[in-house]
Structure 1
Amino acid sequence: MLKICKVLLKNPQNCRILWSANQKISFKHRLNLWSVKLHNVTFNFPKLSDSYYYKFNKHPSLIFAISILTWLGFAKDDEEKESELIMTLKRAVLCKQREQYDKAEQMLHLALRLAQQQMNDQGILYCYDLMGNLAFDTYELDKAEKLFVSVLQLLLSKGTPEDDLKVIHISLKLARICQLKADTEKADIGYRWCLEQIDKHKDANENAKVLYGVINDWYAQYLLDIGDTKKALNHLNEAHKVCQEFHGENSEKSMLLLNDLGITSFRAEDYDKAETYLQEAVTMGNKLEDKTHLGVVHANLGLILLQKGILKEAEKCCRLGWKLGKKYENTESVEQSNYCLEQIKLHAEK
C-alpha cells in the first residue's frame, strides 16, 4: 500500500501548511488552489508568470478532460436509473464552475443524501470526491484531505486494487495537499508512487494516458517549488507530449505548457532555450481564436529578452502583452506586462 496513503489514513491531520507561492484560491486557477507564480523581484531574476494559473480555468477537474460521470464508475444505465441524483450532481458541478460555492455545497449534500438513500456506493464516492474538489476551491485543505481520505478508504474497502486509476487519482490529490502543507517528504513520496503506478498503465487506455500527463505536470510544479529545475523540465516535457497528443499542437493548453517550459528553462539559466519555448508559445497563441492568456506569454518573453539585453524587442513584447491584457480584460497579463515595462525602465536608468 502506498506509504503516504497509509500515513494519511491513520493521521489525516499530519500535514501543516507551509507554502509561500503567490496563490489565488480555487479549482478555477490551477484548481485555483495552485496558482504558483515563479517570481523574484530583482532585475537579475525577474518574476515570470506561471501559466498553471490558467490551465484549469475552464476545465475544473484536470488539465485534460476526464468524464465526470464515468471516472468513479457511473454508466449510462446509472444516468437513466438515478436521474435525480445525476441531475443534482450536474447542478452542483455547474454551480462550482460559476463560483457559487455555497450553493454547490448545498447541492452536493443533497446529492449525498440521495445516494445514501439509494444505497448507491458509486454515487456516495463521487459526492465525496466532488466535495473534496470544492474544498480545494475554497482553500479548505484539511477538509479536502479528510474527504479524499474517505474516498480512498471506501475504494480500498470495496477491494479496489492499489494500482487502479481511481486510487492513483485520489493519491495524487493527497500528494498535492501535502505539497501545500508542511510535509514535502510525504508529497514527494506520494508523487513518486503515483508516477511508479501510472507508468505500468500509461498506454492501457485514454484515461490512463491522461492521468499520466497530469501526474507529470503536477510533479513538475512540485519540483519547481523545491528548486529542482532539471528534473522539472523532464516531467514538463512528458506532460507537454501528452497534451499535444490529446489537444493537438495548436491548443491553449499546449501554449501554456510551453510557457511553463520557458519559465523552467529560465530558472535553469538556459535563456536561449527559454526564449525558444516562449517564441513557440507566442506563435501558437497567435493561431488561437481565444487570446485571453497570450498577453502573459508575451510579457514573459519580454522579460527573457530583457535578461538577454535585447531591449527593443523586450519592450515591444511587453507593450503587446499589455494591449492584449486590456483587450481581453486579463488582469494577470496587464500586471505582468507592467512589471516587465518597469524592469525595462530600471535597466534604461542604469
Structure 2
Amino acid sequence: MSVRLPQQKIGSVPCAVGFSLFTWLGFYKKTSAEDELIHTIKHCILFIQRYDYIKAEQLLHVALRQAQQMQHQLAITYIYDVMANLALEREHLDKAKDLFVAVTQRIMADGATEDDFRVVHISTKLARISHLKKDYQTAQMGYEWCLEKLEKIIKSDPSEEKMKLFALAEDWYGRLFLDTNQYEHALKLMTDSLEKMQSVSDIEKEHIATQMNDIGTVCDLLGKTDESLHYFKEAIEIGKKLEMELGTMYVNLGRAYIKKKLLSEARKNCGLALKIGVMSKNKDVKEEAENCFQEIKRLN
C-alpha cells in the first residue's frame, strides 16, 4: 500500500514565471513606446497568473512584435524568457528548451558568463526540462552544476531571489530521485528545500503545504510513519487556512494512521476525504477514500 503523490504543476508562478518580472534584465520604462510595451507585457503576466495561457501567449506575440519594431533588444530577450517560462508551465518542453537556449545565447552575447545568476537560473530550468523528458542523466548533471553555482552565489549574496531558486532547484532535484526510487536522496533534498522555502517571504503558503504533503509521502515510502504523520498534519493545517482542496492529504493521513494501527483516527480522516471527494465530485479522491475504508475493514 502506498500513499498517493498528487500531480504537481511545473514551476508555479512564484517559482517560475514571476521570477523575472521587470528586474533581472534591467528593463525599465523610458519612452511612451516602451510604456505601451510594458503595459502589454503586464497584461501577459496577468493572464499567466490567471492560468489563461492561450490569451497570454497571443499577447506575448503582440509584445514581441512591438519590441522588434522598436529594436529593443533587452525587451526582446525578456519576452523570450516569459515565453519560455510559459511553455514550461504548459509542458511544451521542446519549445521551452529552444526559447531558454535562445535567451541564454542572447544574454551571453551581451557579456554574461556561466557564473551569472541569470545563466544559472535558466540552466536550472533546462535541467528540469531534461528531467521531465526522463533524460535523468542529463538532468542530474544539470542540477548538480546549478546547485554548485548557486551555493557560491548565495555565499556572496544571500538574497531571497537567489535563495528561492536554490530551494526550487533542490526540490526539483529531489523529485528526480523520487522518480528513480532513490527515496533517501529525495527526502534529504526536499526537506532542505522546504527549510529554505520557509525562510523566503514571498513563497505562497499553498506551495509550502503541497511540499509538506509530498515530503510526508516520501517518509511513508521509507517506512518513516511518525515523520509522515507530522508532515501530513502540518500540510492539512496550512491547507485549512487557505481553503485548499484537502482530499488527497486526508487520505494520506488516514493511511498513515492505518500503518500505526490507529484505526479510529484512520476512519475519521478517510471519512473526511470521502466527504470531500463526493462534494467536489473528485472521483480519484472518492476512490482512494473508499479503498482506505476497505483496508480498515480488513484490519478490524
TM-score for the superposition, normalised by structure 1: 0.76
Higher relative contact order (CA 8 A, sep 6+): 1
Q: Which residue of 2 aligns with 1:133?
A: 85
The answer on whether the counterparts of 2:81 and 2:100 sit within 8 Å (CA) in structure 1 is: yes
Give deviations 1:20-48, integer Å, cap 9, x for gaps: xxxxxxxxxxxxxxxxxxxxxxxx3x242
Equivalence for 2:43: 91
User: Which stretch has the larger CA shift, 134-143 or 166-175?
Assistant: 134-143
For 1:172, the equivalent position in structure 2 comes to 124
Alignment of 1:307 with 2:259, yes or no, is yes
Give the secondary-structure state (helix, strand or coil) at the position aligned to 1:163. coil
Percentage of matched positions with identical amino acids: 34
Aligned match for 1:186, one of 138, 147, 156: 138
Match of 2:197 among 231, 238, 243: 243
- Per the alignment, do residues 79 and 105 of structure 1 end up closer, same or farther by CA in structure 2, a change over 3 Å counting? farther
Compared CA separation, residues 232 and 313, structure 1 to 2 (3 A): same
Taking the aligned partners of 2:201 and 2:27, their CA distance within structure 1 comes to 25
Distance 2:31 2:185 in 1: 43
CA contact (8 A) 1:292 1:330 kept: no
Residues 210 and 80 of structure 1, relative CA distance in 2, 3 Å threshold: farther
State the match for 2:6 in structure 1.
50
Unaligned runs of 5+ in 2: none
Q: Going by fraction, where is helix more abundant, 1 or 2? A: 2
Deviations, residues 173-232 of structure 1 (Å, cap 9, x unaligned): 111111121421110000111100000122512211111111111111111111121111
1:188 to 1:134, Cα distance in 2 relative to 1, 3 A = same
Is 2:40–2:63's contact at 8 Å kept on the other side of the alignment? yes
Count matched residues: 297
Q: Which residue of the other structure, out of 263, 275, 280, is the alignment partner of 2:217?
A: 263
1:29-84 per-residue CA deviation (whole Å, 9 max, x = no partner) reads: xxxxxxxxxxxxxxx3x24233744x86xx52517963512133224x45877111
Does the CA-based 8 Å contact 1:49-1:336 persist in structure 2? Answer: no
Do the aligned partners of residues 97 and 282 (structure 1) sit closer, same or farther apart at CA in structure 2, a change above 3 Å counting?
closer
Q: 1:189 & 1:174 partners in 2: Cα distance?
A: 11
Amino acid at match of 1:274: S
Q: Which residue of 1 aligns with 2:56?
A: 104
CA contact (8 A) 1:233 1:264 kept: yes
CA spacing shift, 1:61–1:278, aligned 2, 3 Å: closer
- Among 143, 152, 167, the residue aligned to 1:213: 167
Distance in 1 of aligned mates of 2:252 and 2:118: 37
Distance 1:281 1:146 in 2: 36
* Mean Cα deviation higher: 188-197 or 205-214: 205-214
> Which amino acid is the alignment partner of residue 19 of structure 2?
I
- Aligned residue identity for 1:210: K
Normalising by structure 2, we get a TM-score of 0.88
Q: Write the mapping of 1:143-158 to structure 2, written as runs, cut at 5 A.
A: 143-158=95-110
Q: Matched residues in 1 for 2:207 and 2:277: separation?
A: 18
What does residue 69 of structure 1 align with? 22
Cα RMSD, aligned residues only: 2.7
Q: Which amino acid aligns with 2:289?
A: C
Question: What 5-or-longer segments of structure 1 have no aligned partner?
Answer: 1-43
Q: 1:18 — aligned with what?
A: none
Question: Residue 231 of structure 1 corresponds to which residue in structure 2?
Answer: 185
Aligned-partner residue type, residue 43 of structure 2: R
Which aligned pairs between 1:318-333 and structure 2 lie closer than 5 A? 318-324=270-276, 329=280, 331=282
Q: Is the 8 Å Cα contact of residues 64 and 214 (structure 1) preserved in structure 2?
A: no
Partners in 2 of 1:217 and 1:124 — Cα distance? 30
Q: Distance in 1 between matches of 2:80 and 2:15?
A: 17
1:220-259 Cα shifts (integer Å, max 9, x gaps): 1111111121111111112111221124999333222221
Which one-letter code corresponds to 2:222 in the other structure? Answer: A
Deviations 1:245-295 (A, max 9, x none): 124999333222221211111111211211122123233334x2x222333
Quick one: which of 226, 238, 250 aligns to 1:284?
A: 238
